[in-house]
Amino acid sequence: MSFAPARPLEQLFASRSSIKWRRYPADVLPVFVAEMDFDVEPAILDRVADTLRNSDTGYLDSAGPLAPAFADFAWSSWAWGVDPQWVHLATDVTVGVVETLRLVLPESGGRVVLTPPVYPPFFEMIEEADAVAITVPLREDAGWTLDLDALETAFAAGVDAMLLCNPQNPTGRCHSRRSLEALARLAARYGVFVVSDEVHAPLAHPGVRFTPFAPVARAAGARAVTVTSASKAWNLAGLKCAVIVAAEPATADLLTRLPEELAARTSILGLHANVAALSCLRWRDGLLEQLVENLRLLEAELTVHAPAVRVVRPDAGYLAWLDFRDTGLGDDPARVLIDTGRVALNSGLAFGEQGRGFARINLACDPSTVVEAVRRIAATVAAYAPVPA
């Protein structure tokens, strides 16, 4: 079925109970957490409803039909050949990352590289795995790309693993094949295991080429896994299902040591929702058209009403990284925007020190919400503008 517009905000506030609609009072416009305002694709709802009608609500012990469904999607999307036997379940992407790190890291802890600004739970995942985070910031001056020289320095000093975010969150950057190939060679040379979070990959914008890390790693002789889900691209986060996919045979053997309970803690409803989602490409394509339109609208509205706010144009997804450093809103503009503008964005500080003066906005909404968000942002920026002498 084709993609449908979002319902009015009043209906969403009245009918939804997730973080996005309950964390702040109703007078705060919620454009923060990565949840969509759009309704779930009907074919996915039908698959979940059929599962419930059949009372098929028990435990899982493997990826079952999701393994070949993901393999087919990976091949048709990116020409990535996935062995279905190398696909394992996890409750969600964060759990998949933590459980993989527990297999990879030494018992006494370990050192894991992050590239901030980056998805805030990465910091928590490393702590949960009893490891230490080594930060190698992205190169803002080169378009928020991987700093390969600094990564080599960190690898040479001794690290066990790296958490790669591709497409990158919050910048939306799809790392280039050349960068990923260079990273894979470094990982192979220094024995660094790479865990690649690719949950936003199905939402690469038209004209952008997304490169999955696993086949690049395998070609370079590096060890890696990909952790991903249909949760972001089809708005299924609460259904709790993700996959951990080995890049090469040695890691495929390693993943057989994942705890048996990991599959049982994954939702059977989520598994069936993911299987259905991966074939709902017409809906996904319609969503992408709306996201690109909303991004253009955001840029146009800011240019007119708040030109001091700069947009880091994403390659993928529905999140945009906004630079407020020239607005006078300080190190944490998101806090000022909530308190003064009554619009909720994600604080850049949560993404690491490199997020100081930034905030992240969610564009998976009706265009009218984008316009209203900019109106509130612009009013706040104007209120904090210096008074002419």
d(Cα 279, Cα 274) in Å, to the nearest integer? 9
- 3-state class (DSSP) for residue 345: coil
Q: What share of the chain is helix, strand, coil (3-state, %, to 5)?
A: 45, 15, 40
Does the fold of domain 44-277 match that of domain 9-39+281-384?
no
Q: What pLDDT, in 10s, does the model give residues 14-70?
A: 999 999 999 999 999 999 999 999 999 999 999 999 999 999 999 999 999 999 999
Domain residue spans of the chain: 9-39+281-384, 44-277
Q: What is the per-residue pLDDT for 109?
A: 82
Q: Residue 207 in contact with residue 62, Cβ under 8 Å?
A: no
- 46 half-sphere exposure, CB direction, 13 A CA radius: 7
pLDDT tens, N- to C-terminus, the chain (389 residues): 689 999 999 999 999 999 999 999 999 999 999 999 999 999 999 999 999 999 999 999 999 999 999 999 999 999 999 999 999 999 999 999 999 999 999 988 899 999 999 999 999 999 999 999 999 999 999 999 999 999 999 999 999 999 999 999 999 999 999 999 999 999 999 999 999 999 999 999 999 999 999 999 999 999 999 999 999 999 999 999 999 999 999 999 999 999 999 999 999 999 999 999 999 999 999 999 999 999 999 999 999 999 999 999 999 999 999 999 999 999 999 999 999 999 999 999 999 999 999 999 999 999 999 999 999 999 999 999 875 65
Q: What is the CATH number of domain 44-277?
A: 3.40.640.10
Q: Is the dihedral of CA 342, 343, 344, 349 positive or negative?
A: negative
Confidence (pLDDT) at 389 = 55
Q: What is the largest CA-CA distance in the chain?
A: 72
What is the topology classification, in CATH, of domain 9-39+281-384? Aspartate Aminotransferase, domain 1 (3.90.1150)
Give pLDDT tens digits for 59-107.
999 999 999 999 999 999 999 999 999 999 999 999 999 999 999 999 8
The token pair at 350 is: 């949560």
Residue 316's DSSP bridge partners are 204
What length does the chain have?
389
Strand (E) or helix (H) holding 29? strand 29-30
Q: Which residues contact 209 (CB under 8 A, 6 or more apart)?
A: 174, 177
Who contacts 25 (Cβ-Cβ below 8 Å, separation ≥6)?
none
